[in-house]
Amino acid sequence: MGDSGPLPFCPQSGTLPDTTSIGTNFPAFDQAGNRWALFGASGEYGSNVLVNDSIPLRFTMDNIAFYFEDGVEYSSCDCMQIAVKNP
């Protein structure tokens, strides 16, 4: 999972929403082209919600449906990352 790289967040307009959705594309692909099921926390417990200049991102990343065909080891992660706005 070290090659999975950063999660893309591309707003459709010039303004950022107060919440972000994770897992809207199925499957999600990492930089190596491997497939993942990606599920977000949908704003509960303050996750995936803009707070001042940061968004605490909580998501589950799992490849159980794809690891055999992709020829990689099975991996699952209940992940949290903090996205911080650049000045």
How many Cβ atoms are within 10 Å of 58's Cβ, its own excluded? 19
Residue 11 lies in a domain: no
Residue 58 lies in a domain: yes
Percent of the chain with pLDDT over 70: 63
Residue 10 lies in a domain: no
Q: Side by side, which strands form the sheet with 28-29? A: 28-29, 35-40, 54-62, 76-84
How many Cβ atoms are within 10 Å of 38's Cβ, its own excluded? 22
Cα 24 to its chain centre, rounded Å, is 10
User: 62-74: per-residue pLDDT in tens?
Assistant: 999 999 999 999 9
Output the DSSP codes for 72-85: S---EEEEEEEEE-
Residue 14 lies in a domain: no
Residue 47 lies in a domain: yes
User: 28-72: per-residue pLDDT in tens?
Assistant: 888 888 999 888 765 556 667 777 888 888 888 899 999 999 999
Residue 37 lies in a domain: yes
Q: How many domains does the chain have?
A: 1
User: 6-27: per-residue pLDDT in tens?
Assistant: 444 444 444 555 555 665 678 8
Residue 13 lies in a domain: no
Structural domain containing residue 50: 28-84
Residue 34 lies in a domain: yes
Where helices occur in the chain by DSSP H, the ranges are: 67-70
